[in-house]
Amino acid sequence: MPRLIALDWGTSSQRAWLLGEGGLVLAVRRRAVGLLGAVGDDPTSRTRHYEAAFDEICGDWLAADPDLPAIACGMVGSSRGWREASYLTVPTDLAIRATDLTAVSHPRGVVHLVPGVRVAPAADGTVPGDVMRGEETQIIGILGLHPPTECPLIIVLPGTHSKWTRVENNEIVSFATSLAGEMYGLTLEHGILSRTATAGVRNDAAFERGLAIGGSVPSRGLLTELFGARALVLDGLLDPASVPDYVSGVIIADEVRHLLPEYSTEGRILLCGNADLCRRYAIALHVHGVGTETVAEEAAAQGLWQVAITAGLVRSAPHTTPVKEIR
Amino acid sequence: MPRLIALDWGTSSQRAWLLGEGGLVLAVRRRAVGLLGAVGDDPTSRTRHYEAAFDEICGDWLAADPDLPAIACGMVGSSRGWREASYLTVPTDLAIRATDLTAVSHPRGVVHLVPGVRVAPAADGTVPGDVMRGEETQIIGILGLHPPTECPLIIVLPGTHSKWTRVENNEIVSFATSLAGEMYGLTLEHGILSRTATAGVRNDAAFERGLAIGGSVPSRGLLTELFGARALVLDGLLDPASVPDYVSGVIIADEVRHLLPEYSTEGRILLCGNADLCRRYAIALHVHGVGTETVAEEAAAQGLWQVAITAGLVRSAPHTTPVKEIR
């Protein structure tokens, strides 16, 4: 029996789950349309756009069961989203309360937006703050699947905007964002390397060469090592089809080199995200002698279920069915 | 009296000079059409495209004086250019000989392409090589205007692909490229910051904040500090119109932090390029306690004249008129 409609609505894609008792996934839908198509400066037309998109992905679920609660996380709650949701500020526990949610009324009912999490900027202005929207829900899901132990847990979520998060005593105590995935896309789609590279053919050796160059000490810097891919191709030392893997290695090595010192720990490092990206990060971290575990990508659905429980949108049944992971 | 047609033909723009005795600039033309529009995989149509572009920018000069020699530097000599010109490999002096030029015949005569310069990759594969096309000619022009002294000279050419070059005893001994300008454009045109920033209003304080963050030690890395601009805007600590200056500071600081250690010297550092960019690099280098001199941007015209002399395309008149710098 359906208990909850759960949405992870990001910048570039939308996922909707129909969840049953215990967070069991009854149905899942994905659309490659995220926030970007919805951006408009007129509030009325923006609202209409979001209402239509919501209806399109899960309106039939709600029509069949009009009392189903609905919850959404991700950039849908950003200033350019459906409605601006609040932020929790680190250090923060992740027991989201009803008052933390932002209710958005729409023709069929109400959607509850999960708050994002922010790092406040340093008081002396030397370190900017940081923000996440959607990843906090994945982290809640991960913590449900991997209950924290005594030692700190580092959760790395690779993606367009990778997040490195430190969790201690069930609280997010700090995190940092890296534009790794965005930089990979921009460089290969719009930069000089778009004219150097050809359609990628997976080449693990090229990825590892990129890793070695991107992690070399002393470093000549990301901006110089990326250009190196072009020189290697011109010298016949790198196949144009292997440029994407090489660039991926250079960028991930640069991210790991800079963020690992701050986030390294004697505790566990969990990777959560696209399987191929997690594999790449595991290799990059292994170069630094750091072991990792990889968790299933569908953490967001479990996180949304968990938030719906703690905020009282749904009540946990007395005999909860075990959560089923899907891929 | 015209003596030479000189072209600096790059990826994104074309400049043509009609030069008289001693390299005196008689006329100059610019077009914002560079290499990109000409890229095509069919050699015949590509050739036709380049011939038409050449004709358009300076065909009338050649029609008026059909025996005028013509010389060109820049990406026009790349593998995607009019014809692939050769490379000199560092260390190399800059006395370009006739045999170093690549002659391209066209309906009105011949254009001579200046060779680029390359750094060979390290034999053990640990450091990729590097390439320049066009900048070598600017450097030749700069050295004509600023004859080298005993000590090494570091010439920094900021731009889409910034070059850091070490000149010793009138030879280029090494150089490195940074994608600084490209990264600035990609980030603000296509990345998440394109949705954070508004049309830039010059804000020197924001530039210096970016410099401080991008140069902080220990560094969280370029990929993280760029995202910081978004967090600052969301926190109301950075005006969206100042994001471009902030990003410029972060990127230039990252470049300087990585390349200055390799290129620092007790000698002189010369900056050559767009005046505003040179100003920014001068400030970024000053943060590291390094003084700089800035030279006029039109070094390419003087470099092309100098190459035409050393390669014997034109003969220096017995009584040379002093070179006149134009801006």
Say if residue B10's pLDDT is above 50.
yes
> pLDDT tens-digit profile of A240-292?
999 999 999 999 999 999 999 999 867 789 999 999 999 999 999 999 999 99
Return the higher-pLDDT residue of A146 and A186.
A186
Residues of B in contact with A256 (CB under 8 A): none
Q: Do A187 and B186 touch (CB under 8 A)?
A: yes
Q: How many Å lie between the alpha carbon of B232 and the closest alpha carbon of chain A? A: 6
Q: Which helix (H) or strand (E) holds A166?
A: strand A162-168
Which of A151, A141, A243 lies closest to A202 in space, CA to CA? A243
Q: Which of A39, A132, A165, A179 to mutate to test the interface with B (most CBs of B within 10 A)?
A: A179
> pLDDT tens-digit profile of B262-316?
998 677 899 999 999 999 999 999 999 999 999 876 799 999 999 999 999 998 6
What single-letter amino acid sits at B213?
A: I
Q: How many Å lie between the alpha carbon of B325 and the closest alpha carbon of chain A? A: 32
> pLDDT tens-digit profile of A117-165?
999 998 887 889 999 999 999 999 999 887 767 788 999 999 999 999 9
Q: Do B130 and A227 touch (CB under 8 A)?
A: yes
Contact by Cβ (8 Å): A19, A30: no
Average pLDDT, chain B: 91
Say if residue B129's pLDDT is above 90.
yes
pLDDT at position A310 is: 95
d(CA B16, CA A320): 77
Exposed e or buried b for every residue in B37-67, given b needs 16+ CB within 10 A?
Answer: ebeeeeeeebbebbbebbeebbbebbeeeee
List the beta bridge partners of residue A162.
A178
pLDDT at position B320 is: 47
> pLDDT tens-digit profile of A74-130?
999 998 899 999 999 999 999 999 999 999 999 989 999 999 999 999 888 788 999
pLDDT at position A37 is: 53
Measuring CA to CA, how many Å separate A119 from each of A89, A148, B87, B130, B173? 6, 21, 50, 40, 46
Q: Which of A145-149, A313-317, B122-126 has the lowest mean pLDDT?
A: A145-149
Strand duo B162-168 + B153-157: pairing = antiparallel
Q: Do A130 and B228 touch (CB under 8 A)?
A: yes
pLDDT at position B324 is: 47
Percent of chain A with pLDDT over 90: 76
d(CA B277, CA B14): 20
pLDDT at position B326 is: 43
Report the pLDDT averaged over residues B148-176: 91
d(CA A44, CA A36): 16
Q: Does B290 touch chain A (CB under 8 A)?
A: no
Burial class of B177 by CB neighbour count within 10 A (0 to 12, 13 to 18, 19+): buried
Query: Coil, strand or helix: which one is A131?
Result: strand
Percent of chain A with pLDDT over 70: 92
Would you state the structure tokens that stand for residue B89, as one six-digit string? Answer: 């490999």
pLDDT at position A296 is: 72
Percent of chain B with pLDDT over 90: 76
> pLDDT tens-digit profile of A45-71?
889 889 999 999 999 999 999 999 999
Of A121, A190, A226, the CB nearest to B190: A190
Q: Do A128 and B182 touch (CB under 8 A)?
A: no
Residues of A in contact with B230 (CB under 8 A): 131
Report the pLDDT averaged over residues A314-326: 56
Return the higher-pLDDT residue of A315 and B100.
B100
Contact by Cβ (8 Å): B80, B29: no
Report the pLDDT averaged over residues A212-227: 95
At B80, the pLDDT band (50, 70, 90 cuts) reads confident
Q: Which residue of B has its CA nearest to A212?
A: B126
Q: Which residues contact A43 (CB under 8 A, 6 or more apart)?
A: none
Report the pLDDT averaged over residues A302-320: 85
Contact by Cβ (8 Å): A234, A195: no
